[in-house]
Amino acid sequence: MTRVKCSKLRGKKPDELQKQLEELRQELNTLRVGKVTGSGGAQKLGKIRNVRKSIARVLIVTHQTTKQNLRALYHGKKYKPKDLRKRKTRAIRRLMTPKENSVQLKKLQRRQWAFPQRTFAVKA
Partner 1 sequence: MGPKKETKEASASAKKKDTPAATTTATASAKKTTKTAGNTTTATKVVTKERKEKVKSTALKAKQRVVRGNQLTRKRKIHTKPTFRRPFTLRLQRQPKYPRRSVPKRNRLDHFAIIKYPLTTESAMKKIEDNNTLVFIVNIRANKPLIKQAVKKMYDVDAEKVNTLIRPDGEKKAYVRLKADHDALDVANRIGII
Residue 80 binds to partner 1 (criterion: CB under 8 A): yes
The Cα 61–Cα 124 span in angstroms is 71
The residue among 63, 49, 89, 47 whose CA lies nearest residue 10 is: 63
Q: Which of 17, 34, 50, 65 binds partner 1 (CB under 8 A)?
A: 34
Q: Which of 18, 39, 104, 112 binds partner 1 (CB under 8 A)?
A: 39
Q: Which of 11, 41, 76, 81 is close enough to bind partner 1 by CB under 8 A?
A: 81
User: Counting contacts by CB under 8 A, is residue 79 touching partner 1?
Assistant: yes
Given 5, 10, 32, 93, the residue binding partner 1 (CB under 8 A): 32
State the Cα–Cα distance between residues 61 and 57, nearest whole angstrom. 6
> Cβ 107 to partner 1, closest distance in Å?
37
> In angstroms, what CA-CA distances link 79 with 62, 83, 85, 86, 90?
24, 12, 9, 12, 18
Nearer to partner 1, 5 or 35 (CB): 35
Rounded Cα–Cα distance for residues 7 and 60 (Å): 12
Number of residues binding to partner 1, judged by CB under 8 A? 23
Angstrom distance (rounded) from CA 4 to CA 69: 23
Binding interface with partner 1 (CB under 8 A) = 25, 28-30, 32-37, 39, 63, 66-67, 70, 74, 77, 79-84
